[in-house]
Chains A and B, each alone.
Chain A
Amino acid sequence: MTASRIPPELAAIQEDFLALESTNDRLQFLLELANELPELPERYQDHPELFERVVECQSPVFIFVEVTDDIVHVFATAPREAPTTRGFASILVQGLSGHTVDDVLAVPGDFPQEIGLTQAVSMLRIRGMTAMLARIKYQVRARLDQPVTPGP
């Protein structure tokens, strides 16, 4: 059992959220993050089959995790009409990518409940982000056993 710890980028997002006092400010920050969700790199753009749907989220969001030399990269797509879900994905993509397998697996499973959003977006919706984190970790473990790369 790895002790819980949080990568610095993820911790910084958490601190930024908690520093905002009003619900509206936290929502605006989540929207900024939603707008920052990176486009997929070219090598993954035509490979929807690699992506796993996070069925726990209300909107169609898909994730794919790459592990190269012990370093995790998270990729996600979500429609612009689903900014809350995009925001969740963006937080995890920005906060986890570039970290080691151990560091990603060490993020506590209930981290999404600790970023000051349960009141702003409701517990029900936060569940979607919790599921997204769980699926990312699951994929990380799966990649260790069997690396996946895009086909020709």
Chain B
Amino acid sequence: MTVPYDNSPKFHDYAHPERLVSADWLEERLDTPGMVIVESNEDVLLYETGHIPGAVKIDWHTDLNDSVVRDYVDGEGFAALMKAKGINRDDTVVIYGDKSNWWAAYALWVFTLFGHEDVRLLDGGRDKWIADGRLVTTEIRPIKETDYPVVERQDDDIRAYLLDVLAHFGNPLIDVRSPEEYRGERTTLPSHPEEGSLRAGHIPSAHSVPWGTAANEDGTFKSRSELDEIYREQLGLSDSDDVVAYCRIGERSSHTWFVLSHLVGLPRVRNYDGSWTEWGSAVRVPIVTGAERGETPAPR
């Protein structure tokens, strides 16, 4: 069963317009069979204060991460989560969240690791839905469990590990954190907790393109032509490039991964989810401080 795509003119120009839905589109289709709405936020309680009617909650930390190893859940864990959330393998999943969809993009990226085919983002996310005065509810509906198959995670295509990044030198790297974090003045966002990086700075040769460059004030994505101007013209990325994006723990770079893969249409983009909390504590990996990208080390 395929839920029709959103034909909004704004989306036509994107490389993969089927990955986005607008609030108008969603509001008209809240109870569509074969579609599940998922809310994914930074704050674990925000969903409980009011959510889009019928939406289920998936928390990036307590649901998508393994509770012991620093990794995502495995195939069985993901299947159990999908079952508990009432999601079938062929369902359309529409994800939205706070902070301009950081965590929603992160959840979408994890769904993609498991090859869930039809997963879309709500343009503008939670904040715009609420700012527009659209309906929210605190009602939590009972969920009918599904029978989601156990599918093993496929990390290779869209996930980079530390060793991959060391071998990647010479290819485009994008640091999507704030300029202060890039320069090494701090290891966390101005408003975020210290999360244990022992060194500050950036991976040598990384371009600094903060994630928010791709978003409008209201949290929606910029138009295709604006995104092409930023990433293809100014940064010089092209379809033949192999791109790796990183941030602090991989959430903001999921946003950029979504933009580059689905909106700008670059075929090879990976998210380095270990990001600065791994690189900034790893022994004997090169680091550059200051505003310059620094020399490109030899790949190893």
Binding site for B on A (CB under 8 A): 27-28, 30-31, 34, 55-60, 80-85, 87, 119-122, 124-125, 127-128, 131
B48: Cβ under 8 A from any A Cβ: yes
Whether A31 touches B42, Cβ cut-off 8 Å, given contacts A124-B61, A128-B193, is no
Report B38-49 CB contacts with A as 1/0, cut-off 8 Å. Answer: 000011111011
* A82 / chain B contacts, CB cutoff of 8 Å: 43, 46
Whether A120 touches B62, Cβ cut-off 8 Å, given contacts A81-B43, A82-B43, A84-B45, is yes
Whether A122 touches B45, Cβ cut-off 8 Å, given contacts A58-B193, A60-B191, A81-B98, is no
Main secondary structure on A side of the interface with B: helix
- Are B194 and A56 closer than 8 Å at their CB atoms? yes
* B61 / chain A contacts, CB cutoff of 8 Å: 122, 124-125
Number of chain B residues whose Cβ lies closer than 8 Å to a Cβ of chain A: 16
* B45 / chain A contacts, CB cutoff of 8 Å: 27, 30-31, 34, 83-84, 87, 121
* B48 / chain A contacts, CB cutoff of 8 Å: 27-28, 31, 83
Chain A to chain B contacts (Cβ below 8 Å), 30 pairs: A27-B45, A30-B45, A31-B45, A31-B48, A31-B49, A34-B45, A55-B194, A56-B193, A57-B193, A58-B43, A58-B191, A58-B192, A58-B193, A59-B43, A59-B191, A60-B191, A80-B49, A83-B43, A83-B49, A84-B44, A120-B44, A121-B44, A121-B62, A122-B59, A122-B61, A122-B62, A124-B61, A125-B44, A125-B61, A131-B193
- The 9 lowest CB-CB distance pairs between A and B, nearest first, are A83-B45, A122-B61, A56-B193, A84-B45, A121-B44, A84-B43, A31-B48, A122-B62, A83-B49
